[in-house]
Amino acid sequence: MRPLVVGIVNVTPDSFSDGGQHATPQAAVAHALALVEEGADALDVGGESTRPGATPVPADEEAARVVPVVAALRERGVALPVFVDTRKAAVAAAALAAGATMVNDVSAGLDDPAMLATAARAGAGVVLMHKQGDPATMQRAPRYGDVVEEVLAHLVARADAAQAAGVPPERIWVDPGIGFGKTFAHNEALLRALERFVATGRPVLLGASRKAFLGAITGRPVLERLAGSLACAARAAQAGVRAVRVHDVAATVDLLAVLDRVAPP
């Protein structure tokens, strides 16, 4: 089965990859609708940049960014799953009430102790991502003994915690968190080991689109990393990943459609 394509809708003035192009709710809704046209299977709406060095956003401001976007998408009849990318239970609760179906938490429920129970109460799914440290400081000196074993163990434990909190088991996804407290070597090791994450039995989401390690490999600035991003989507498909979180939906949909037809079963 080919991975689902989750289109990124950042409602932030300072996202690393799309530089605040969709900073107002109106612009974000227009962008989201364009991604639906391009063939997205789901949308991921976020109101707090988690790029390295980003400053935190208060909950009310973050909710004011994302909730109107989720609500407008539902009002316009968008029926796709909508993820809310947040580390705050209050933002998640408001977005779920407005029609979001899944909480994408880059802290895997650790930054806000109410997060997992909030998702469970709403009957929502969760994406539990691994990160080391906080966005403000995480890229200063990431260190691991064995990055693959440590990220795997962390995600298995967080998925168990989500299940214990009452999130339906089939709706608990895990994500190795490319670029979140990782050196280039760590990111490469995780991408090489994607099958290990799939083998946990939890659906895996991969977010590699336009990230810095692609710049390190190709020498390209952020808006010229499409080929690198597509290579990661192909790698994800090969490994049996459930979903890829991407900026370039149309190109990713094409890539996966062709791969699906030509790859041996």
CA dist 103 and 125 (Å) reads 6
- 252 near ligand PMM, judged by CB under 6 A: no
User: Per the structure block, which two tokens stand in for 65?
Assistant: 């960014």
Q: What is the smallest separation between the CB atom of 69 and ligand PMM, expressed in angstroms?
A: 14
The beta strand positions in 150-190, using DSSP E, are 172-175
* Contact track, ligand PMM, 15-54, x by CB under 6 A: xxx-------------------------------xxx---
Contacts of 179 (CB under 8 A, 6+ apart): 52, 139, 187, 207, 211, 212, 213
Minimum CB separation of residue 105 from ligand PMM in Å reads 8
Shortest Cβ 120–ligand PMM spacing (Å)? 19
Q: How far is CA 224 from CA 18, 58, 210, 221, in A?
A: 12, 32, 8, 6
Whole-number Cα distances in Å, 144 to 141, 162, 181, 228: 10, 24, 10, 25
- Tell me the sheet residues that pair with 8: 44
Residues in contact with ligand PMM, counted by CB under 6 A, come to a total of 19
Shortest gap between Cβ of 137 and ligand PMM (angstroms)? 16
Q: How far is the CB of 83 from ligand PMM (least distance, A)?
A: 8
Of 4, 5, 8, 108, the one binding ligand PMM by CB under 6 A: 8
CA distance 154 to 67: 30
Residue at 179: amino acid letter: G
Q: What is the DSSP string of 59-107?
A: HHHHHHHHHHHHHHHHHTT--S-EEEE-S-HHHHHHHHHTT--EEEETT
Residue 171 is given by DSSP the state: G
Distance CA 103, CA 177 (A): 15
Minimum CB separation of residue 77 from ligand PMM in Å reads 25
Name which of 228 and 261 has its Cβ closer to ligand PMM: 228
| Residue with smaller CB distance to ligand PMM, 9 or 63 | 9
Q: Is 129 in the site for ligand PMM (CB under 6 A)?
A: yes
Which CB atom, from 72 or from 84, has the smaller least distance to ligand PMM? 84
Catalytic residue among 65, 88, 210, 211: 211
> What six digits make up the tokens of 47?
């109101």
211 is catalytic: yes
DSSP class of residue 138 equals T
Instruction: Pull the structure tokens for residue 211.
Output: 């990230």
Q: Which is nearer to ligand PMM, 153 or 223 (CB)?
A: 223
Nearer to ligand PMM, 89 or 129 (CB): 129
Interacting residues with ligand PMM between 99 and 118 (CB under 6 A) = 104, 106
The reply on whether position 89 binds ligand PMM by CB under 6 A is: no
* Footprint on this chain of ligand PMM (rule: CB under 6 A): 8, 10, 15-17, 49-51, 85, 104, 106, 127, 129, 175, 177-178, 205, 207, 245
Query: Which residues belong to the active site?
Result: 211, 245
